[in-house]
A = this chain, B = another copy of it.
């Protein structure tokens, strides 16, 4: 049984670029059966925390696919967050695959057992062999507690292994956030334009060239059958962002394009 001390690093706010990837594991997403609901949530939380999400991958419940994706992502980004595949059934193979990716052994973990036993005993639920699978944690991992159903996730190095059920994933993410180092928060300003993208694209490109330190994106908006767009400006520097947004509003007004 694993019974290691925590090796989690302390939080460390920094000016460095802190990056992340999300790895979603589950056949049910790829078949279209289940709508993926976690990656967008994690994206919003990480962005707000100053961590730049650079990639999302969804792979099947297949050990090689999980190992290959995880090894590619964990070497490339500061953090990797996985969701899915840590339940009690035979198709839940994430913990095993993560252990393999790290070359670690995996076994029933006393700490996980200590968390789960009282939960089941209180409810008069039997700890079947299948449920016992959820106590299998790779050697050297730190547990991520789960206040909803007791079965924990875990952290190993820069990889956070979380549940696929959104309500459980969210309490796990809440719990690990204070441990993450965070970069400077990316600020954004959105200008809603009452015109199609094509009407403002030339001006917008010029504006991007005039403010290279501000990242600018344009997103079409087809709601209500009217073609409009939103121009989004992003920067880690509030003053530069504010100047760039004000100048863009001014230019839009000058050519008579309504915006809010």
Contact = CB atoms under 8 A, between A and B. Distances in A.
Interface stretch (A8-16, A87-95, A139-147, A174-182): A87-95
A121 interface: no
Interface string A165-177: 1010000000000
Interface stretch (A39-47, A154-162, A241-249): A39-47
A201 B128 contact: yes
Given A56-B57, A65-B54, A129-B202, A216 B91 contact: yes
Interface string A63-97: 00100000000000000000000011111100000
A36 B27 contact: no
Interface string A28-69: 111111111001111111111000111111111100010000
Given A32-B42, A33-B219, A54-B60, 16 more contacts: A27-B215, A28-B217, A30-B54, A32-B44, A55-B57, A56-B56, A56-B58, A88-B198, A89-B201, A89-B205, A91-B216, A91-B217, A125-B198, A125-B199, A128-B198, A130-B197
